[in-house]
Structure 1
Amino acid sequence: MATALSNQNYVESLTARPRVLVVDHEPMSRTLIDAILRRGNDYNVLMAGDAEEGLGVARRDRPDLMLLSTFLPGADGYSLCRTLKSEPRTRRIPVVMVTAHAGTQERVQGIEAGADDFIVKPFNRVELLARVRSLIRIKSLNDQLDEVEDVIYSLSRAVEAREGGDHEAHTERVVIFALAIGSELGLADEAMRVLRQAAMLRDIGKIGVPDRILNKPGALDDEEQKWMQGHVALGEQIISPLRSTAALLPIIRHHHERIDGKGYPDGLAGEEIPLGARIVAIADAFDAMLSNRPYRPALSPAKALATLQAGAGKQWDSRLVELLVQWSARHPNSVPQTK
């Protein structure tokens, strides 16, 4: 029964008409847009008369497109657009600003608020439909990319499951330590987002490493080392088709480089290594030291930090190591004790 319902929902999602939310304080304008969009029975049209109502509908129904009047009672359309673009659940909804003025100032305001397009009243029916169709098509493609992204994150979790133990918790801690270093550096929000995602996906290429190598309790031989080292290039290949993950590629490829140039895959040295890769390398190594391994017991936080400091300037970036040391001293409860 559950499968039948699931299949029914899937079919409905394929055949459902795109939803367009019209936010306009003028009833006549809403009625006109509604008539144009419903004429071919191609769209489901939702209505709101002010910013507060429009925000509520957008959050609840997540339409495929919004036609948003610049002038609204209370908060104006620009403010509503900024709010929509700042929230994870609504930021991908294309927004067309509907305005009675085509001046540069209005367009600049809309661009700064995050609007995707403009249309000027009185609008041409053919132009309105063309803009709606175009933006909905783009959103559909972006939604498909999001679905692919979800598959990639699922692959990453599958790798963690193959490695056994508490490897999922290991990844969560690597993210915490990487963001701690990024915070100490004062990285901007976007750089922190990239750092978080790269730390999560850094080892996705291990999906191509055989279990006998991935879970070998002893040292790897030369051939097995080549297999293991190949995971960074494979990880880069897996996520490279996704436009949204382009900034992650250098971190995933280079998080096993060394400051002295003796790492892999490209033997980069010093600041040739991307900053994000240097951060993730330290975060990954730190938590690995704090975790039990088949070939050694977990180190205490003090010993793990001392090991990082001993390798600073050779394996790891000295400045970033010290930032982690400082953060750990201020947040001792955030560092797991010896397991």
Structure 2
Amino acid sequence: MNSSEKKAAEILIVDDQEIILRLLEETLKSEGYAVLMASNGVEALEAVEKKKPDLIITDMLMPKLNGCDMVSKLKESADTRLIPTIMLTGLFDFEHKVRALEIGVDDFLGKPFNRIELITKVRALLKTKSYIDQLEDAETVIFSLALAIEGRDPYTNGHCQRLSEYGAKLAKKIGMDDLMIDAVRKGGVIHDIGKISVPDAILLKPGKLTEAEYEIMKTHPEVGENICKPMKSLTPVLPIIRWHQERWDGSGYPDKLSGTAIPLPARLIAIVDLYDALITVRPYKKAFSLQESIEIMSKETQENKWDPNLMKVFQEMLIANEFEKTLSEINSIKYEHA
């Protein structure tokens, strides 16, 4: 396929009636779409695991796993929740439609289906899917930029990924919903993206920053927010980017928020950021042990720097070894300036 050819959209059709599958296949292929088929929800989930389609058309009532339960499982995963779905059903009662809408079905199509209506709905949802894909591509650029910024400093090797993992586990532990857990996971990676505006002479300085240098460093949360603000899909992450340097007592920046005025996801990332800074080697400090880190965090919490309730949960998780990254793994990393 040359660069001027457009790849055909792939549509998964799911129905336990062979005649419906064949009619759908014939109609969709005549419009140039690639078609995958499954006869029930279990087969559909297996097919999606092997290859994510651009759109799913599924019957509502099927053996083994019905359409609603199948779509519900897809919506639970960040990898598949954005696949658009059309529900095929001969049932038009209010209760079934409400159930389908609640789990995230995008549209409905009656059985027997109307060819023109089918193609119109497919085209509309695929157009929406293309916009979502473009947003995901833009997000990828943002995340790559964040990791490139991290790469400027050899002493923060893997820092963003660790914060993402620590943060997501802590968010899940305290009962945040999936949307907020995802925001925390992303925030762990891109919270410092505003440091692109900070000169290397300041960012990599081994000693204490001057007052003027510190003022420049303090601009990075606002810069980062401005970089990501045009991306509507990153709206839940913006509070983390702007306020991850705020402190419980109001001594942080850029807005000197205090206490619960600091959004919970930002407070959470701030705590795991502190922990990662303590347990890793930096130009100005050694790597502290787990016990030393907990003692320092406890002391600073008593000094009113951190959310005490959140810190308590986090320390309990550390003591229980609930994080995959162990101290020995992190301390085995060799830090060398390029």
TM-score range, shorter chain: 0.7 to 0.9
Which SS does the other structure have where 1:16 is aligned?
coil
Name 2:12's counterpart in structure 1: 21
CA RMSD of aligned residues (A): 2.5
Which SS does the other structure have where 1:297 is aligned?
coil
Of 274, 279, 282, the match for 2:268? 279
Query: What residue identity is the alignment partner of 1:130?
Result: T
1:165-244 matches, within 5 Å, as 165=155, 167-179=156-168, 181-244=170-233
Looking at structure 2, the residues matched to 275 and 164 of structure 1 have their Cα atoms a distance apart, in angstroms, of 30
Determine if the alignment matches structure 1 residue 149 to structure 2 residue 139: yes
TM-superposition CA deviations, 1:101-123 (whole Å, max 9, x none): 21112202212333111111233
Determine if the alignment matches structure 1 residue 100 to structure 2 residue 94: no
Post-superposition offset of 1:162: 0.4
TM-superposition CA deviations, 1:132-154 (whole Å, max 9, x none): 11100000110111111111111
- Give the TM-score of the pair, scaled to structure 1: 0.87
Looking at structure 2, the residues matched to 24 and 151 of structure 1 have their Cα atoms a distance apart, in angstroms, of 38
Looking at structure 2, the residues matched to 17 and 81 of structure 1 have their Cα atoms a distance apart, in angstroms, of 23
TM-superposition CA deviations, 1:153-186 (whole Å, max 9, x none): 1111111110113x23333333344345435534
1:294-305 matches, within 5 Å, as 294-305=283-294
Worse-matched range after superposition: 83-92 or 273-282: 83-92
Name 1:53's counterpart in structure 2: 43
Worse-matched range after superposition: 135-144 or 107-116: 107-116
Q: How many residues in Structure 1 have an aligned counterpart in Structure 2?
A: 328
Query: What residue identity is the alignment partner of 2:306?
Result: W
Of 47, 56, 79, the match for 2:69? 79
Looking at structure 2, the residues matched to 89 and 52 of structure 1 have their Cα atoms a distance apart, in angstroms, of 17
Query: What residue identity is the alignment partner of 1:182?
Result: A
Looking at structure 2, the residues matched to 270 and 25 of structure 1 have their Cα atoms a distance apart, in angstroms, of 56
TM-superposition CA deviations, 1:27-86 (whole Å, max 9, x none): 3323333343344x3322333333333333333332211111112233222222223323
- Give the TM-score of the pair, scaled to structure 2: 0.87
Name 2:309's counterpart in structure 1: 319
Worse-matched range after superposition: 290-299 or 266-275: 290-299
Post-superposition offset of 1:264: 0.6
Change beyond 3 A, Cα 1:226–1:68 = same
Of 150, 156, 163, the match for 1:160? 150
Query: What residue identity is the alignment partner of 1:148?
Result: A
Report if aligned partners of 2:11, 2:55 keep a CA contact under 8 Å in 1. Answer: yes
Report if aligned partners of 1:180, 1:327 keep a CA contact under 8 Å in 2. Answer: no
Worse-matched range after superposition: 54-63 or 218-227: 54-63
Report if aligned partners of 1:301, 1:335 keep a CA contact under 8 Å in 2. Answer: no
Report if aligned partners of 1:59, 1:89 keep a CA contact under 8 Å in 2. Answer: no
Q: Tell me which protein shows more helix as a share of its residues.
A: 1
Name 2:334's counterpart in structure 1: none
Worse-matched range after superposition: 118-127 or 53-62: 53-62
Report if aligned partners of 1:68, 1:98 keep a CA contact under 8 Å in 2. Answer: yes
Change beyond 3 A, Cα 1:262–1:105 = same
Q: List structure 1 runs of 4+ shifted beyond 6 angstroms.
A: none
Query: What residue identity is the alignment partner of 1:278?
Result: R
TM-superposition CA deviations, 1:223-266 (whole Å, max 9, x none): 32222111111211222222322111101110101122121111
Name 2:28's counterpart in structure 1: 37
Name 1:124's counterpart in structure 2: 114
Report if aligned partners of 2:86, 2:108 keep a CA contact under 8 Å in 1. Answer: yes
Change beyond 3 A, Cα 1:177–1:35 = closer
Looking at structure 1, the residues matched to 39 and 223 of structure 2 have their Cα atoms a distance apart, in angstroms, of 51
Worse-matched range after superposition: 289-298 or 130-139: 289-298
Determine if the alignment matches structure 1 residue 111 to structure 2 residue 111: no
Report if aligned partners of 1:250, 1:274 keep a CA contact under 8 Å in 2. Answer: yes
Change beyond 3 A, Cα 1:161–1:310 = same
Which SS does the other structure have where 1:260 is aligned?
coil
Query: What residue identity is the alignment partner of 1:80?
Result: M
Looking at structure 1, the residues matched to 13 and 312 of structure 2 have their Cα atoms a distance apart, in angstroms, of 53
Percentage identity across paired residues of the two chains:
35
Query: What residue identity is the alignment partner of 2:229?
Result: S
Report if aligned partners of 1:84, 1:91 keep a CA contact under 8 Å in 2. Answer: yes
Change beyond 3 A, Cα 1:283–1:61 = closer
